[in-house]
């Protein structure tokens, strides 16, 4: 049995240690906000935060996450200051189209904003280049991060 | 209301008109007093308005735009509007352009504009009649606004909810008056999207998120070569794995069922499967291209003929070229998936699809059930782009689920998704033209490739002409006195081909706009001036070209190996011109610097959605132009995931400006237009920057670097 702290709640998981967090979240805990996109950390759709760092949950075995680590998913990011500002900016600027990648985009952007309150274009490129959006919402993602940061 | 409808996913209104995603709400039979004047509108006694969406939401914003049209003519209170997915029904929700329930071809607004307006206006008229009857006044003396009917002379008013029951007893007028464009209050406004609030907090459900009670999870692999069959499977290792529940072996598909998708995937990897690759086992991309090039030598079915093109080609300065387009995968961010529960007497399907009724029919056929025994629960789509115009994922999942006792979620790995797509066809476009006094005198255009329509919608394939295959070519916007457009059908066989964002125009606009650029340079004319000189018959496009040129700073000096290129198109009923500014370094690497589009799409139902569609569509098309190619080796697709089927990323995307041209014309489509607009503008920019003309996509950096000939 593996114990994880997700969005402030302790969760017990009956899966093997090599199970990626993505599938534990989606299929075992029913937390489907975190998305499967590629399975090889190429697209960022599965991004969650572990202790505030954006990580790709599709390649993160649950056994590698310390019991003391705090996992935040899209379902919980709105409770953080950075997450709430990013979500609001996303809606204010109508970033979202199909929306499938946006959980991951928001998790990456929130981690950026928390660590770098005034990101410039290079910071945004570095933090967001791992998140693919097939609808092509990148122009608005960039604007929304700046808006959330108050630099636009 | 049928069972499927009653279990649909609902979008539920939250506070202050902010629409939040609901759960699978059990929706009882319409309560007594609910006004249901047609298949699109339900007004409850409490005044809430539920609009049933005949088209599916895959990011293009159609749920909001459709609602704006309905609510406009209905004079609904926008804050009380909620939307719901439609159930499968060609009869109620068939697309007027096809007669079946399909979302595609950028035609949701084009096709439904008139019927939706009429539906809204009819409902409004009935509500007004009901109020007038109650007040014993002439209906003409009443007016409706924001969900209420007013009788100004007496100062009385009644809300739609209070009128709902009585409205249902009124006789609908034959031709209810439609609003004048100047009276629109919702159409034309950049209203907030109705589908996005739940997309930023993880609460909305796509097909892949469905979790019916007791669901098990399957990982699937299809024959690596299309047409191949399973010979034998050694499942001993997989079955010994904890969490693996079942191995399902069908003719051409193998799946492992487990307690979660990861364990199923591990189980699948542990199988030893022997395949008979079948007749396509030795076919590679070179064979496909050889066959296509040979077929393109044949005369095709004539889709358009004006004047005497052959004679005109001999009269003036002649130019010949051939353009080639690769296979492309769709790579929707939500990989293919479907949840199916096959029971003793029926089947339930959870999916996000562009073809609701076809999924129902094809699953029914596969399971040998009557269609009404297949309940389809529609979801939001994590990207469509034409991939979800196919029911294959539902049929395969149903065949697997038929062997399994529980509900089963079948998820394609990204590798399976890319290797078993329904690909954008390879095309070869052979063009010849002659210039006389600086103008195009003769023009012949022959497109050779798949007839996707012949497979997908056979009734539309007539006289050997795929009308989609020649779309934007047969109706070329330029004034050319002598022209002929031909279509040659050539199916690649080794893979199935299908619709891909931009469909026929995607191929044709690239070839035509690249060749127009070649002709401009041959004529010694500026590419903008040359286009403008040929656009007298298409003034809306001429205006777009002029605006794009102006806004992009056309003609202003740029650094070395940096240039602008332009494209112009009439596609999906919209008139669009685009300027791409790009830089080419000495290694042939291309950097996008700026994109400007000018768009006349008629009445802009939601201007912000149109801008978003252009922004996204341009990136979609340019992604393909820069990187996209699916290749075949020994019958197998060689690409597998985003490392070898690349996507543009945020650090590679430049600023994109979209300028809307005011219009009161019938609305055009926009979902696919950006995808067709970008590639030729890029190719023309690369020519202007380097003097090298690329006639194949994706762009070849070695050619741009001068390492190999064009």
Q: What is the DSSP string of B264-282?
A: HHHHHHH-EEEEE-GGGTT
Pairing of strands B562-571, B574-584: antiparallel
Q: What is the Cα–Cα distance from B343 to B401, expressed in whole angstroms?
A: 10
Mean pLDDT over B237-241 rounds to 97
**A contact residues 51-80, partner B, Cβ 8 Å cutoff:** 73-75, 77-78
Q: H or E stretch including B537? A: none
Q: Is B658 helix (H, G, I), strand (E, B) or coil?
A: strand
Give DSSP secondary structure letters for B364-383.
Answer: HHHHT--GGGEEEEE-B-S-
Pairing of strands B347-351, B337-342: antiparallel
Residue B32 confidence (pLDDT): 67
Total domains in the fold of chain A: 2
Residue B16 confidence (pLDDT): 26
Residue B6 confidence (pLDDT): 27
Pairing of strands B216-222, B49-53: unpaired
- CATH number, domain containing residue A143: 1.10.150.120
Same domain assignment for residues A122 and A82: yes
Q: Which residues from chain B sit within 8 angstroms of residue A148, using beta carbons?
A: none
Name the closest residue on chain A to residue B382, using Cα atoms: A100
- Spatial contact of B602 and B666, defined as CB atoms under 8 Å apart: yes
Is B279 near chain A, with CB under 8 Å?
no
The two three-digit tokens of residue A39, written as one number: 């399975």
Q: What is the Cα–Cα distance from B679 to B618, expressed in whole angstroms?
A: 8
Name the closest residue on chain A to residue B413, using Cα atoms: A38
What are the backbone angles phi and psi of residue B462, rounded to the nearest 5°?
-125, 145
Q: What is the Cα–Cα distance from B496 to A141, expressed in whole angstroms?
A: 35
Residue of A23, A35, A97 lying closest to B59 (CB–CB)? A97
Of the residues B24, B245, B262, B411, the best mutation for testing chain A's interface (the one with the most A CB atoms within 10 Å of its CB) is: B262
Residue of B61, B200, B650 lying closest to A87 (CB–CB)? B200
Minimal CA separation from B593 to chain A, in Å = 13
Identify which of B696, B648, B599 has the alpha carbon closest to the alpha carbon of residue B106. B599
Same domain assignment for residues A145 and A82: yes
The two three-digit tokens of residue B108, written as one number: 């949701």
Q: Which residues from chain A sit within 8 angstroms of residue B193, using beta carbons?
A: 94, 96
Is A139 near chain B, with CB under 8 Å?
yes
Name the closest residue on chain A to residue B614, using Cα atoms: A136
Q: Is B449 helix (H, G, I), strand (E, B) or coil?
A: strand
Q: What is the Cα–Cα distance from B118 to B259, expressed in whole angstroms?
A: 50
Residue B590 vs residue B710, higher pLDDT = B590
Same domain assignment for residues A45 and A81: no
Same domain assignment for residues A104 and A53: no
- CATH number, domain containing residue A22: 3.10.20.30
B8 pLDDT above the threshold of 50? no
What confidence category does residue B33 fall into, taking pLDDT thresholds of 50, 70 and 90?
A: confident
Interchain CB distance below 8 Å, A99 and B199: yes
B684 pLDDT above the threshold of 80? yes
Same domain assignment for residues A67 and A33: yes
Is B591 near chain A, with CB under 8 Å?
no
B485 pLDDT above the threshold of 70? yes
**B contact residues 374-413, partner A, Cβ 8 Å cutoff:** 380-385, 411, 413
pLDDT in tens, B324-342: 999 999 999 999 999 999 9
Same domain assignment for residues A12 and A65: yes
Same domain assignment for residues A130 and A114: yes
Same domain assignment for residues A51 and A106: no
pLDDT in tens, B416-445: 999 999 999 999 999 999 999 999 999 999
Q: What is the Cα–Cα distance from A2 to B288, expressed in whole angstroms?
A: 52
Same domain assignment for residues A123 and A88: yes
Identify which of B418, B384, B427, B425 has the alpha carbon closest to the alpha carbon of residue B644. B418
Residue of A28, A137, A140 lying closest to B260 (CB–CB)? A28
Answer with the one of A49, A72, A95 that is the final residue of a domain. A72
Answer with the one of A28, A47, A72 that is the final residue of a domain. A72
Interchain CB distance below 8 Å, B208 and A35: yes
Q: What is the Cα–Cα distance from B49 to B65, expressed in whole angstroms?
A: 15
ipTM of the complex as predicted: 0.98
Q: Which residues from chain B sit within 8 angstroms of residue A126, using beta carbons?
A: 651
Domains (range + CATH), chain B: 3-199 (3.30.365.10), 207-278+336-411 (3.30.365.10), 286-327+423-704 (3.30.365.10)
- Spatial contact of B227 and B278, defined as CB atoms under 8 Å apart: yes
B10 pLDDT above the threshold of 60? no
Range of the domain at A119: 77-149
B405 pLDDT above the threshold of 80? yes
Same domain assignment for residues A43 and A56: yes
Is B290 near chain A, with CB under 8 Å?
no
Residue A67 confidence (pLDDT): 84
Is B242 near chain A, with CB under 8 Å?
yes
The two three-digit tokens of residue B676, written as one number: 């067709």
Q: Radius of gyration (Cα) for chain B, nearest Å?
A: 27
The two three-digit tokens of residue B541, written as one number: 């496009």
Same domain assignment for residues A55 and A86: no
| Residues of chain A predicted below pLDDT 50 | none
Q: Which residues from chain A sit within 8 angstroms of residue B194, using beta carbons?
A: none
Residues above pLDDT 70, as percent of chain B = 95
Would you call B89 exposed, middle or buried from its count of C-beta atoms within 10 A (0-12, 13-18, 19+)?
Answer: middle
Q: Which residues from chain B sit within 8 angstroms of residue A120, using beta carbons?
A: none
* Omega before residue B314 within 30° of 0, cis: no
Greatest Cα pair distance in chain A: 47
Q: What is the Cα–Cα distance from B527 to B460, expressed in whole angstroms?
A: 36
Residue A25 has what DSSP assignment? I
What are the backbone angles phi and psi of residue A148, rounded to the nearest 5°?
-60, -35
pLDDT in tens, B46-74: 999 999 999 999 999 999 999 999 999 99
Residue B101 confidence (pLDDT): 95
Same domain assignment for residues A105 and A125: yes
Answer with the one of A28, A50, A72 that is the final residue of a domain. A72
């Amino acid at each position: 049995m593996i114990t994880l702290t997700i969005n402030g709640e302790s969760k017990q998981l009956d899966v093997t240690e090599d199970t990626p967090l993505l599938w534990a979240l989606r299929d075992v805990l029913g937390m489907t906000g975190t998305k499967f996109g590629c399975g090889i950390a190429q697209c960022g759709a599965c991004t969650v935060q572990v202790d505030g760092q954006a990580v790709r949950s599709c390649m993160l075995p649950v056994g590698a996450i310390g019991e003391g680590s705090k996992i935040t998913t899209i379902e919980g990011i709105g409770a953080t200051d950075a997450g709430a500002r990013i979500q609001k900016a996303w809606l204010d600027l109508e970033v979202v189209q199909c929306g499938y990648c946006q959980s991951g985009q928001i998790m990456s952007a929130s981690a950026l904003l928390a660590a770098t309150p005034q990101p410039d274009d290079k910071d945004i490129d570095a933090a967001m280049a791992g998140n693919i959006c097939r609808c092509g919402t990148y122009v608005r993602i960039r604007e929304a991060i700046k808006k959330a940061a108050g630099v636009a | 209301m049928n069972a499927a409808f009653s279990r649909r996913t609902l979008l539920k209104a939250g506070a202050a008109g902010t629409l939040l995603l609901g759960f699978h709400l059990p929706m009882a039979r319409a309560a007594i007093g609910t006004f249901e004047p047609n298949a699109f509108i339900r007004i409850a006694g409490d005044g809430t308005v539920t609009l049933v969406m005949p088209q599916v939401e895959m990011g293009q914003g159609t749920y909001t735009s459709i609602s704006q049209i309905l609510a406009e003519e209905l004079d609904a209170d926008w804050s009380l509007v909620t939307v719901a997915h439609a159930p499968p029904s060609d009869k109620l929700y068939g697309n007027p352009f096809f007669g079946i329930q399909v979302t595609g071809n950028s035609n949701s607004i084009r096709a439904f504009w008139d019927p939706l307006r009429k539906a809204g206006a009819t409902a409004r008229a009935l509500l007004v009649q009901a109020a007038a009857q109650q007040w014993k006044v002439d209906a003409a003396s009443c007016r409706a606004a924001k969900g209420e009917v007013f009788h100004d002379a007496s100062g009385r008013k009644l809300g739609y909810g209070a009128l709902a029951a009585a409205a249902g007893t009124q006789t609908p007028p034959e031709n209810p008056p439609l609003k004048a464009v100047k009276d629109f209050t919702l159409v034309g406004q950049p209203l907030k999207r109705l589908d996005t609030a739940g997309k930023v907090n993880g609460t909305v459900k796509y097909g892949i998120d469905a979790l019916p009670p007791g669901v098990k999870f399957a990982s699937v692999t299809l024959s690596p070569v299309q047409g191949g069959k399973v010979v034998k499977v050694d499942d001993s290792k997989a079955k010994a794995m904890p969490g693996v529940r079942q191995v399902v072996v069908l003719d051409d598909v193998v799946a492992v069922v487990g307690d979660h998708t990861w364990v199923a995937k591990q189980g699948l990897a542990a199988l030893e499967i022997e395949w008979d690759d079948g007749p396509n086992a030795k076919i590679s991309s070179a064979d496909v291209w050889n066959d296509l090039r040979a077929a393109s030598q044949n005369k095709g079915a004539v889709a358009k003929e004006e004047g005497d093109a052959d004679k005109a080609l001999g009269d003036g300065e002649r130019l010949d070229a051939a353009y080639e387009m690769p296979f492309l995968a769709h790579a929707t961010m939500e990989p293919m998936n479907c949840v199916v529960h096959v029971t003793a007497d029926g089947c339930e399907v959870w999916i996000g699809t562009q073809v609701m009724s076809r999924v129902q029919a094809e699953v029914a056929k596969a399971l040998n059930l009557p269609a009404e025994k297949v309940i389809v629960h529609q979801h939001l789509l994590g990207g469509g782009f034409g991939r979800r115009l196919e029911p294959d994922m539902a049929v395969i999942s149903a065949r697997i689920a038929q062997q399994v006792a529980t509900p089963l979620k079948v998820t394609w790995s990204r590798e399976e998704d890319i290797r078993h797509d329904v690909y954008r066809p390879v095309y070869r476009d052979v063009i010849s033209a002659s210039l006389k006094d600086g103008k195009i005198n003769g023009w012949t255009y022959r497109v050779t490739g798949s007839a996707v329509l012949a497979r997908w919608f056979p009734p539309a394939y007539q006289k050997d002409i795929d009308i989609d295959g020649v779309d934007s070519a047969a109706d070329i916007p330029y004034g050319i006195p002598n022209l002929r457009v031909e279509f040659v059908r050539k199916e690649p066989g080794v893979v199935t081909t299908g619709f891909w964002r931009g469909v026929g125009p995607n191929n044709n606009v690239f070839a035509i706009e690249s060749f127009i650029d070649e002709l401009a340079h041959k004529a010694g004319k500026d590419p903008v001036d040359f286009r403008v000189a040929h656009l007298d018959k298409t003034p809306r496009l001429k205006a777009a070209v002029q605006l794009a040129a102006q806004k992009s700073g056309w003609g202003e000096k740029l650094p070395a190996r940096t240039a602008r290129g332009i494209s112009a198109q009439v596609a999906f009923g919209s008139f669009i011109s685009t300027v791409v500014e790009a830089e080419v370094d000495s290694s042939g690497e291309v950097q996008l610097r700026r994109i400007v589009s000018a768009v006349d799409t008629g009445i802009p139902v939601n201007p912000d959605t149109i801008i978003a569609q252009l922004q996204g569509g341009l990136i979609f098309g340019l992604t393909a132009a820069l990187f996209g190619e699916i290749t075949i080796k020994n019958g197998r697709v060689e690409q597998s995931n985003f490392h070898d089927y690349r996507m543009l990323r945020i650090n590679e995307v430049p600023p994109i400006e979209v300028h809307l041209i005011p219009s009161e014309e019938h609305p055009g489509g926009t979902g696919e237009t950006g995808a067709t607009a970008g590639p030729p503008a890029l190719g023309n920019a690369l020519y202007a920057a380097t003097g090298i003309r690329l006639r194949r996509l994706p762009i070849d950096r070695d050619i741009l670097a001068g390492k190999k000939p064009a």
